[in-house]
């Protein structure tokens, strides 16, 4: 699945946003607080719309991990209005999710720690609906109740799901690679190794360090084998660049046919390796039919993509790349889109953010 457009209403700092220029490889830039990460999180919320803990997981990514009902308020730009995210793909399919804050609701349930039935009064309930819209497709919806239950130390967040689905839907493969962490997803790397595809990672990583011979998992620890070194070493010894690229490529491989969002993609990667990294990412995005939507703050990244395109114009068709500059006007975020043929002009005009 390749997203071609997205509309966001009332999510985090975004009152309203629409962009219809998403491509196979999409690079998003903009000043601080213009909604770059929120755009990626909106796609995460949409792709994981049936995951009852997606709201708290989005908050935890921003280090708000207290698991309190009231903390879900920060998902809304205005908690009194619905939050809506809608995106279309190349097949014409439309996916949407709407979350509505409902106050003064009650929910009765049995606590897992006792057989006593309690009737708490949560601060609110979130009602989630979603639908897929090819021609004549029925709507599918569900209800998520978010309530608080008394625990030994504080009120704990519990989830109660009452689905009312009218059809079975298949959500796209999706991954979110965070900007703050360089940890490699053990489940992703495990899948790569089980499918005997770790050579793909090794070949790509050799561009960063030619000594790398193998990647292995030992007791859930990522280990690397280096030429001339008789024992495996923790991958952390290799530094941020190797871990960052391993995390990104593992996500791309597992999400073949889907989408990978990467926040601040150039974190940990020196500008000297950017052309090599982008040549690798573009090749695998096409080979594995996976969409890359990434954010960045730096001109070096744009220059690297420009170099890849100029050195090999056939590496990526112009329609498969979009460079989007976000500009905030109050609560409205406006995108200004460019393609590969505009890159040189964009660089000369300084259309990037520091």
Terminal-to-terminal C-alpha distance of the chain: 32
Query: 35 near 52, Cβ under 8 Å?
Result: no
Cβ neighbours, 10 Å, residue 216: 14
Residues 6 or more apart whose Cβ sits within 8 Å of residue 152 = none
Query: 160 near 119, Cβ under 8 Å?
Result: no
Query: 87 near 21, Cβ under 8 Å?
Result: no
Q: What is the CA radius of gyration of the chain?
A: 22
Nearest to 352 by CA among 301, 299, 306: 299
Q: Could you give the CA distance from residue 37 to residue 77 in angstroms, rounded to a whole number?
A: 15
Q: Please give the chain's pLDDT, 354 residues, in tens.
A: 689 999 999 999 999 999 999 999 999 988 888 889 999 999 988 887 666 567 777 887 787 776 666 677 888 899 888 888 999 888 777 888 888 776 544 444 444 444 545 444 444 555 555 555 555 554 444 445 555 444 443 333 444 444 444 344 456 689 999 887 667 888 899 999 888 899 999 999 998 899 999 999 998 889 999 999 999 999 988 888 899 999 999 999 999 999 999 999 988 888 888 888 898 999 999 999 999 999 988 777 888 888 888 888 888 888 889 989 898 887 788 998 888 877 777 676 665 544
Q: Could you give the CA distance from residue 81 to residue 10 in angstroms, rounded to a whole number?
A: 7
Domains parsed from the chain with CATH numbers: 174-349 (3.40.50.300)
Residue whose entry in the numeric block shows the structure tokens 């609701």 = 105
Q: Which helix (H) or strand (E) holds 8?
A: strand 3-11
Q: Could you give the CA distance from residue 182 to residue 106 in angstroms, rounded to a whole number?
A: 41
Nearest to 20 by CA among 104, 79, 86: 86
Q: Could you give the CA distance from residue 207 to residue 135 in angstroms, rounded to a whole number?
A: 46
Burial of 195 (0-12, 13-18, 19+ CB in 10 A): exposed
76, HSE (Cβ side, Cα atoms, 13 Å)? 17
Query: 106 near 119, Cβ under 8 Å?
Result: yes
According to DSSP, residue 170 is labeled -
Nearest to 145 by CA among 119, 110, 111, 107: 107
């Amino acid at each position: 699945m390749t997203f071609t457009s997205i509309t966001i209403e009332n999510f985090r700092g975004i009152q309203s946003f629409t962009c219809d220029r998403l491509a196979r490889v999409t690079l998003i830039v903009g000043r601080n607080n213009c909604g770059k990460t929120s755009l990626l999180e909106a796609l995460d919320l949409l792709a994981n719309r049936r995951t009852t803990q997606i709201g708290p997981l989005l908050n935890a990514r921003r280090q708000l991990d207290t698991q309190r009902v009231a903390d879900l308020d920060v998902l809304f730009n205005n908690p009194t209005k619905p939050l809506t995210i809608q995106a279309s793909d190349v097949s014409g399919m439309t996916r949407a999710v709407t979350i509505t804050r409902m106050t003064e609701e009650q929910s009765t349930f049995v606590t897992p720690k006792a057989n006593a039935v309690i009737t708490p009064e949560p601060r609110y309930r979130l009602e989630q609906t979603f639908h897929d819209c090819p021609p004549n497709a029925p709507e599918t919806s569900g209800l998520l109740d978010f309530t608080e239950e008394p625990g030994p130390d504080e009120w704990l967040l519990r989830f109660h799901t009452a689905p009312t689905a009218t059809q079975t839907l298949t959500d796209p493969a999706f991954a979110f690679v965070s900007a703050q962490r360089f940890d490699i997803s053990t489940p992703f790397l495990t899948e790569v190794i089980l499918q005997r595809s770790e050579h793909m990672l090794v070949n790509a990583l050799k561009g960063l360090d030619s000594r790398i011979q193998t990647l292995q998992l030992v007791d859930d620890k990522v280990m690397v084998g280096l030429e001339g070194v008789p024992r495996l070493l923790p991958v952390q010894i290799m530094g941020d660049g190797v871990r960052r690229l391993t995390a990104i490529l593992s996500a791309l491989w597992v999400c073949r046919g889907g989408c990978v969002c990467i926040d601040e993609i150039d974190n940990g990667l020196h500008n000297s390796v950017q052309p090599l990294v982008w040549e690798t990412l573009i090749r695998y995005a096409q080979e594995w039919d996976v969409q890359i939507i990434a954010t960045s703050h730096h001109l070096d990244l744009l220059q690297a993509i420009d170099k890849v395109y100029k050195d090999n114009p056939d590496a990526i068709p112009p329609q498969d790349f979009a460079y989007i500059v976000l500009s905030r006007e109050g609560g409205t975020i406006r995108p200004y889109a460019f393609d590969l043929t505009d890159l040189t002009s964009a660089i000369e005009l300084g259309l990037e953010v520091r």
